[in-house]
Structure 1
Amino acid sequence: MAKYMLIMRATDESLAEFTNVDFTEAMNAMGKFNDELIRAGVLLAAEGLEDAKEGVVVDFTGETPVVTDGPYGETKELFGGFYILDVASKQEAIEWAKRAPLTAGSKTEIRRVPTVDEFPQDNEWIQKERVWREQTGQL
């Protein structure tokens, strides 16, 4: 099994489409999808994010970090939520992503989450992370 993150990305088209969707219907559809993930035993985490206009960006381009209030970036650069699934393959993660009840124009980026075992085990910080993960039941 491997962990995959499904990053839900909005587009101008999907945001416009969402204004036409009944909120209760949208929540029901998402709730049913979440329930399927739970019943299949693949859901590890799922969260929606607050609107980007409420966020900030810490930019490390210069010598000192600069904090910029939202909104920031173009719509296509933002994501509104994520799932973390524990599935057998990238293809299985893709199949789950294709079933998500998203509005037209939405996009989902899928990325594997590496395990601590994939990093050099002789590194002091990797060893400390391994201990932390064992102590918190994440390993």
Structure 2
Amino acid sequence: MTKYLISFPSAAMVVPDEEMRAVSDASHAVVQEAKDAGVWVFGGGIDESVPPVMVDGDGTVTEGTYAQTKQLEGGYAVLEVPSREEALEWAARFATACRCAQEVREFGYDPAS
């Protein structure tokens, strides 16, 4: 089976404050469906209040990040499913729950795992 990253940036989720609870409940319901189906690997949202840091091989820690990932935020789910089609079906469920389109990316095969 293949792992897929299903995600969206924070700015894509434009929901009125009074509807946020319903969106949260709907997205948690899809997460529970994925867990019940045995395809859930990991998920969550990036805590945008905590700044990223870079760690070098010698352990040196510096504030900041790679320029191309400066805007890495939002919500993420990693699912392990038998086909890309099934990953797209789950993405559609998340899109409905979160009220925004979801990006789907496939993880590369790791022969050691």
TM-score clears 0.5? yes
Tell me the TM-score normalized by structure 1.
0.60
Cα deviation for residue 89 of structure 1 reads 1.5
- Find the counterpart in structure 1 of residue 75 from structure 2: 81
TM-score computed with the length of structure 2 as normaliser: 0.71
User: What residue is the counterpart of 2:13 in the other structure?
Assistant: 14
Kindly state the Cα deviation for residue 31 of structure 1 after the two structures are TM-superposed.
1.9
Q: Quick check: which has more Rg, 1 or 2?
A: 1
Q: Which runs of 5+ in 1 are unaligned?
A: 59-64, 118-129, 131-138
Paired residue secondary structure (2:75): strand
Residue number in structure 2 paired with 1:108: 102
Report 1 or 2 for greater relative contact order, CA contacts < 8 Å, sequence distance ≥ 6: 2
Matched length: 105
Q: Give structure 2 stretches of 5+ with no counterpart.
A: 55-60
In 2, Cα distance between equivalents of 1:102 and 1:94:
15
Partner of 1:21: helix, strand, or coil? Answer: helix
CA contact (8 A) 2:8 2:101 kept: yes
In structure 2, the CA distance between the partners of 1:45 and 1:68, relative to structure 1 (3 Å rule), is: closer
User: Once the two structures are aligned, what percentage of the paired residues are identical?
Assistant: 24
Give SS of 1:116's match.
coil
* Structure 2 residue matching 1:34: 3-state secondary structure: helix
- Give a deviation string over 1:44-103, Cα, whole Å, max 9, x none: 1112221x3432365xxxxxx96349xx95xxx443121111111222111101111113
Aligned residues: CA RMSD: 3.0
